[in-house]
Chains A and B, each alone.
Chain A
Amino acid sequence: MSCADALSCNNRRCEIEVSSLSRSFGNTVAVDDISFNVGRGELFAFLGPNGAGKTTTINMLIGLLIPDSGEVRYHGQQFDPKQLAVKRLIGVVPQHNNLDRELTAAENLLIHGRLFGMSGKQLHQRIDTCLAFADLTAKRDTPTAKLSGGMKRKLVIARALLHQPEILFLDEPTVGLDPHSRRKMWAFLRRINKEQKCTVFLTTHYIEEAEALADRVLIIDQARVIAEGSPQQLKQSAGNVVLDIYRDDDICNEFFADRPAALQRLEQLDTSVRIRETTLEDVFLQLTGKRLEP
């Protein structure tokens, strides 16, 4: 599939094209023949349970793991981690806050900038800008070991943005954050997408995170892609309205294209029923027969 095919990237120019990517560790297939595209400026969520293959996929996209087969293209060019120019396009926020604990917030950014070939006034200005963007100016000279979990996470993101990447990869950006910090993080990620004009590719196992943030969602389970589309499209494909029908300690779901159809069915039922809008959780349940554990 080429970049000329506008629909392949949700009507946007293609940033990343992934085709038939696979990777195994010993006898375990971590990622099995997955293909998808990410458009320029998109906020793209890779949703799936723990162990589904999200981190392995991201690691192949950023060059930390070599695929067994398949290919990754950036701007139509095949990705080779040895080609350094492509690495400048990428910013990475790993699942683990991999900061140097003994160094201050500013020093952590300084080292990152040096590794990306930045120096002098330009580097120091970028450090100031990124610290300000992440609300960490006051913590500039604080050793990172003394920062809160949310601050560390923001610092890792600020570090990934320092060299002005075109695409930001975030692996489970809100794991370990309390609900309040999580919502603040979502707003921060939206700002990165809109203000910094960054394509954002994130993995998550939180349904509401994908639903709240993503322009497009790719659902992965047991190493394979099982659905793809905007949250709206995915919900539409399952049926926009769902009936939770309570029968003998069990709940079964029935999906309907719209509310009148659901209400018509409701009239035929003589048990407790709840009518509500479909969520991505329902989509996942319908596709896999199981729920995503929070």
Chain B
Amino acid sequence: MILAGVRGIYLREILILRRKLIKTLMAAAISPALFLLAFGYGVGRGTQISGVDYLAFLLPGLLTMSSMNQAYSIATEINISRFYFKVFEEYLLAPIQRWEIIIGETCYGITKGLIPVLIIGLYSLLTGVTLSFGPLFLVALLLHLTIFALLGFIAAMIVKSHSDQATINAFLITPMMFLSGTFFPVEQMPMAIRAVASIFPLTYSTQLIRAALTPGAEVNLALLGTLTVIAMVLFLIAKQIVARVEL
């Protein structure tokens, strides 16, 4: 069977996701709702950014951030499967290529990352903000989710324990959430923060996805190239790491 590893791993992840779908949906809905209340209605009510209402600015940012969190969350799941339940051994023992594990898990990360799109879509209806879900958005979202699923996979492969995983989240994911333009434009930040933001992939995907979702906004298509290069580099890194993984 062609790509038996990719399909087998994806099937396993989807069967498990199906069992905990309600819980996953609820968890994915809560955090953007709280950010929406705190920032959208609490802090940013009545303000405008780059000529649009703050809510219309915030919702695409929340979509990008939440889908990043979901795609990246495969890191914790792989971590538990590797160090606690040891199911990951089944993948290492199967007659499949190691890169098939990367693709299978990345596809799962992408699938999980689609959940917030539904949720933010619903919130946009509730808040009366118009978002344009077109083909450019889909391509940008796919690249964005691929990047963060790969990042999650790499993190799960290089850590040696659960606590290492928490450290990576604290130093990488949390700063990215707040400094990559989700809640306010990166251009408003001091020079040093802008320099930090420029190394975060979320800065680029937020910019592209926000432009694609905002009706009439100007889109910088070069960002598609940037995201493609980042995804390719991450895949090559993941391939190197997974080839050497023991247990």
- Which residues does A use to contact B, with CB under 8 Å? 59, 62-66, 84-85, 87-88, 90, 92, 94, 96, 98-103, 107, 110-112, 114-119
Which chain A residue lies CB-closest to B2?
A117
Bound Cα distance from A88 to B16, whole angstroms: 26
Given the interface contacts A65-B247, A111-B11, A116-B4, does A88 sit within 8 Å of B95 by beta carbon? yes
Supplied contacts A115-B5, A115-B96, 11 more A-B pairs, CB within 8 Å: A59-B246, A63-B93, A64-B247, A92-B89, A94-B86, A96-B86, A103-B19, A111-B11, A112-B94, A115-B91, A119-B1
- Do B94 and A115 have beta carbons less than 8 Å apart? yes
Using Cβ atoms and an 8 Å threshold, which residues of chain B touch A114? 1, 4, 7-8, 11
Main secondary structure of the interface of B (DSSP, over half): helix
Q: Which residues of A contact B86 (CB under 8 A)?
A: 94, 96, 98
Q: Are B90 and A103 interface neighbours, CB within 8 A?
A: no
CB pair A98 B85 closer than 8 Å? yes
Beyond A98-B86, A107-B15, A114-B11, is A62–B4 a contact (Cβ under 8 Å)? Answer: no
Report which residue of B9, B95, B247 has the largest number of chain A beta carbons within 10 angstroms of its beta carbon.
Answer: B95
Q: Which of A84, A87, A92, A99 contacts B87 (CB 8 A)?
A: A99
In the assembled complex, how far is the CB of residue A164 from the closest CB belonging to chain B, in whole angstroms? 13
Give the distance in Å from the alpha carbon of A163 to the alpha carbon of B1 in the complex. Answer: 14
Bound CA span A63–B16, Å: 27
Contact between chains at B19 and A92 (CB < 8 Å): no
| B7 contacts across to A, CB distance below 8 A | 114
B12 touches A116 (CB 8 A): no
Q: Is the interface of A mostly helix, strand, loop or mixed?
A: loop
Q: In the complex, which residues of chain A have a beta carbon less than 8 angstroms from the beta carbon of B19?
A: 102-103
Asked if A98 and B96 sit within 8 Å, CB to CB, the answer is: no
A100:B95 contact, CB within 8 angstroms: no
Number of B positions contacting A (CB below 8 A): 26
Q: Do B4 and A115 touch (CB < 8 A)?
A: yes
Q: Which of B11, B15, B93 makes the CB contact (< 8 A) with A87?
A: B93
Known: A90-B93, A117-B4. A65 touches B246 (CB 8 A): yes
Question: Min CB distance, B240 to chain A, in Å?
Answer: 14
Question: By the criterion CB–CB under 8 Å, are B20 and A100 in contact?
Answer: no
**Residue numbers in B under 8 Å from A59 (CB-CB):** 246-247
- Complex Cα spacing A118 to B246, Å: 25
What's the nearest-Cβ distance from chain A to residue B246, in Å? 5
CA distance in complex: A99, B85 (Å) = 7
Q: A100-B16, A102-B20 are in contact. Are A84 and B89 (CB under 8 A)?
A: no
In the assembled complex, the CB of A111 is this many whole angstroms from the nearest CB of chain B, namely 5
What is the CA–CA distance of A205 and B9 in the complex, to the nearest angstrom? 34
B92 within 8 A of A: yes
Q: Known contacts A96-B86, A98-B85, A100-B12; decide if A84 and B247 are in contact (CB<8 Å).
A: no
Query: How far apart are the CA atoms of A111 and B11 in the complex, in Å?
Result: 7
Is there an interface contact between A92 and B16, defined as CB atoms closer than 8 Å?
no
Most A CB atoms within 10 A — which of B1, B9, B247? B1
Decide if A117 touches B85 in the complex (CB within 8 Å).
Answer: no
